[in-house]
Amino acid sequence: MKLRTNKKGFTLVELMIVVAIIGILAALAIPAFIKYINRSKTAEASNILSNVSGAAKGYFEGDQTYSPANGDQPWHAAVPADRATRAGMPVELADKVFPGGDGVAFTTHDDFPVGGAKGTPDTDYTGNATAIAALHKLNLVLEEPTYFGYHIQSDGTGGDATFQVAGCHDFTGTAAATTTCTEAILDSHAVILDCEADIEDGTNLGATCFPPYTLNEFL
- Taking the model in full, what pTM does it have? 0.79
Predicted confidence at residue 41, as pLDDT, reads 82
Instruction: For residue 117, give the DSSP letter.
Output: -
DSSP H or E run through 142: none
Q: Is the dihedral of CA 54, 57, 60, 61 positive or negative?
A: negative
Asked whether 120 and 177 are in contact (CB, 8 A), the reply is: no
Asked whether 182 and 108 are in contact (CB, 8 A), the reply is: no
Of residues 152 and 15, the one with the higher pLDDT is 152
Q: How far apart are CA 73 and CA 151, in angstroms?
A: 19
Predicted confidence at residue 153, as pLDDT, reads 93
Whether pLDDT at 200 is above 80: no
Predicted confidence at residue 37, as pLDDT, reads 74
- Strand-strand pairing, 203-209 and 104-107: unpaired
